[in-house]
């Protein structure tokens, strides 16, 4: 006890495809470029980028894709390592195309 050190962290990121009235959803570009950015810049020790997924914005139609993404990521996470899993979802809004993120731990 006390000598285990910090737990590993796996981060899963989602963004969304374009939606009505917005020709390009900026969250799609962020998520599509994130893996390459992380490969160039790196992450702190113990932190890994698990998945980067762009989802449809089709309401109920997007739910199966979201569930599949979550189940796939969870099954790939090493349960033996007892890693913390963080979900980051980038959202943009039609009114001003502001981007905000929601972090689920």
Rounded to an integer, what distance in angstroms lies between the CA atom of residue 48 and that of residue 8?
Answer: 8
In three-state secondary structure terms, 17 is: coil
In three-state secondary structure terms, 62 is: helix
The strand pair at 9-16 and 47-55 is best described as parallel
Rounded to an integer, what distance in angstroms lies between the CA atom of residue 34 and that of residue 74?
Answer: 20
Question: Counting every residue, how long is the chain?
Answer: 105
Containing 73, the helix (H) or strand (E) segment is: helix 63-76
The pLDDT profile of the chain, 105 residues, written as one tens digit per residue, is 555 677 788 888 988 888 777 778 888 889 999 999 999 999 999 999 988 988 887 766 677 887 888 887 776 655 545 678 888 887 765 554 455 555 554
Cβ(2)–Cβ(71) under 8 Å? no
- What's the pTM value of the predicted model, to 2 decimals? 0.73
């Amino acid at each position: 006890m006390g000598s285990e050190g910090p737990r590993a962290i796996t981060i899963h990121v989602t963004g969304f495809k374009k939606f009505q009235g917005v020709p390009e959803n900026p969250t799609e570009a962020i998520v599509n470029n994130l893996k390459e950015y992380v490969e160039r810049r790196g992450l702190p020790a113990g932190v890994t980028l698990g998945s980067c997924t762009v989802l449809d914005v089709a309401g109920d139609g997007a739910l199966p894709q979201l569930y599949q993404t979550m189940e796939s990521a969870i099954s790939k996470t090493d349960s033996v390592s007892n890693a913390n899993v963080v979900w980051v979802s980038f959202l943009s809004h039609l009114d001003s195309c502001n981007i905000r993120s929601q972090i689920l731990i």
